[in-house]
Every structure is written in structure tokens, then in C-alpha cells.
Amino acid sequence: MSKTAIITGGSRGIGQAMSEKLGELGYNVVINYRSDSSKALSEKIAADLESKYKVGTLVVKADVSKYEDCEKLVKATVEKFGDNIDVLVNNAGITNNSNWIDITHEAYERVIGTNLMSALHMTHLVLPHMINHSSKDSQCVIVNTSSVGGMTGVINQADYCASKSGLIGLTRALALEFAGRGVRVNAIAPGMIMTDMLRGVNQDELNALAATIPEGYIGDVSDIAGALAYILTAPYLTGQIISPNGGFVLQ
């Protein structure tokens, strides 16, 4: 029987790479996006997955900072693929890059809502569709996309760091709560990864960034997709924070 995975923020950058990895691993993939500008990209990813890997896909627009939109996302998944959900990847994330004096409360509430509250909402709604059919031999998996920013401080990123640190706490608590019940919960904490945001930085700034990383280069989205694949296929792994960061942060 085919398995189903939901990924929030699955249309760009790290999210796109993880969506593609899920399809490669044989999952039906539910790709969530928020902005209208991501609709066509999400649909193209879905079409490519169906063509290349012969899996089912579903594309759902939802602002996962809102509980009612998360309900819509989960309902659409169940209606298309059935009551069992095997994988949830809480990947939706944004940042403000603002100092803490000038930032508005609306701005940091948006970051906390998108990065942290979305994961609380989605796990709350998806877990009933996992716990009722999972077992030691047929595990379900939740993966939260945190950041090295959740492990250490970053200037002008207080709200972002708080949200990503919160995901680490959520990961560890849920891993303990559902240990032995067929649901594993882990997190990925990426370091500096080449995404659209870094592509806009000039070459000198990129080189300066790379020089701060012990491995000497900025990571690729495939590094994060690879970490996801490992987590999904490692039955003894739960409550862990996997951080592909080139040695930038040591745990």
C-alpha cells in the first residue's frame, strides 16, 4: 500500500528538494504553499513527481500559521489519499532580519506563527491519522525543519531563533510522548544553504560567508534532502536534531 507525506512550504528551496526526495522514496506527496506566486511552481513539482516516480500528488494553498487552514490541508489530504498519513514535514518558514527595537509586533508574530505555530497546528491535526495505524514495524515520522539559528544566537534574528529553538523543544517533547507508539519525531537544523536568498548576495559576501564554515563552502539543498531520507529510513532514531552545517555549529 502506498504511503502519504505532507510537507508544508514545499515549493521552494529546501522545501522543493525535500518534496522531490519524498517522491523519489515512493511517497504520495502533498505540497503546501502559501503565496499565489508559488502556485505554478508547486504544480510543476507535483507534475514532475507524478511523471518521474509514478506517485500521487496534491497541491494545497494554505497559510499554515492559521489553524483553520491547517484543518483544510489535512482534510484535503485525507479525502484524496485516505485516513492514514505516514510522514509530516513541518518546513514552512520565514524570517524578518530586523533589530529588536524597530521590529513591529505584527512582524514577529508572523514569524512565530509561520515557523512554530504551524508545526504545533499540523502535528496536533496529523497525529490522530498516524497513531491509529502506526506500529513498531510500520512507523510514522514527523520531521521539523529547525535551523542552526535554533541552536545559537544570530544578530537581527531574535524572533527567527526563538521559533527555531521552539521547534527543537517540540521535537524532543513529542519524541518522548510518542516513543514506542510507532511515531518518531526528529528535526533537521540546516546551516548556511544555497537558496534564493543567498543567490542574491554578491560573490565577495558569499566568499566571506563560506570562510566562516570549517568545511569551507556553503551547503546545497540536496544536503538537507539527504538528511530527510536518512531520518525516514532510520527506525531507531527519534528525538534527535540532525544539523548539516559544515561544522559551523558543533552539538
Cell of 55: 506517485
Residues annotated as catalytic are: 160
Whole-number Å distance between alpha carbons of 32 and 42:
8
pLDDT at 162: 98
Question: Looking at the domain assignment, is residue 249 inside a domain?
Answer: no
Span 203-222, pLDDT tens digits: 888 888 899 999 999 999 99
For residues 187-213, b (16+ Cβ closer than 10 Å) or e, as one string? Answer: bbbbbbbbbeeeeeeeeeebeeeeeeb
Question: Looking at the domain assignment, is residue 63 inside a domain?
Answer: yes
Query: What is the 3-class SS of the chain, one letter each residue?
Result: CCEEEEECCCCCHHHHHHHHHHHHCCEEEEEEECCHHHHHHHHHHHHHHHHHHCCCEEEEECCCCCHHHHHHHHHHHHHHHCCCCCEEEECCCCCCCCCCCCCCHHHHHHHHHHHHHHHHHHHHHHHHHHHCCCCCCCCEEEEEECCHHHCCCCCCCHHHHHHHHHHHHHHHHHHHHCCCCCEEEEEECCCCECCHHHHCCCHHHHHHHHHCCCCCCCECHHHHHHHHHHHHCCCCCCCCEECCCCCCCCC
Whole-number Å distance between alpha carbons of 182 and 176:
12
Structurally, the chain folds into a number of domains equal to 1
Question: Looking at the domain assignment, is residue 211 inside a domain?
Answer: no
Cell of 107: 512582524
With cell 527519534, the residue in question is 238
Question: Looking at the domain assignment, is residue 196 inside a domain?
Answer: no
| Region of 244 on the Ramachandran plot (φ > 0 left; ψ -120 to 50 alpha; else beta) | beta
With cell 500559521, the residue in question is 65
pLDDT at 132: 76
**CATH number, position 181:** 3.40.50.720
Cell of 119: 508545526
pLDDT at 134: 64
- pLDDT truncated to tens, each residue of the chain (251 aa)? 689 999 999 999 999 999 999 999 999 999 999 999 999 999 999 999 999 999 999 999 999 999 999 999 999 999 999 999 999 999 999 999 999 999 999 999 999 999 999 999 999 999 999 997 766 667 999 999 999 999 998 999 999 999 999 999 999 999 999 999 999 999 999 999 998 777 877 788 888 889 999 999 999 999 999 999 999 999 999 999 999 999 999 97
Question: Looking at the domain assignment, is residue 61 inside a domain?
Answer: yes
Question: Looking at the domain assignment, is residue 203 inside a domain?
Answer: no
pLDDT at 203: 82
* The model's pTM: 0.96
Phi, psi of 214 (to 5 degrees): -55, -40
Whole-number Å distance between alpha carbons of 6 and 90:
8
Domain that holds residue 131: 3-189+220-242
Question: Looking at the domain assignment, is residue 200 inside a domain?
Answer: no
pLDDT at 13: 95
Question: Looking at the domain assignment, is residue 47 inside a domain?
Answer: yes
pLDDT at 198: 77
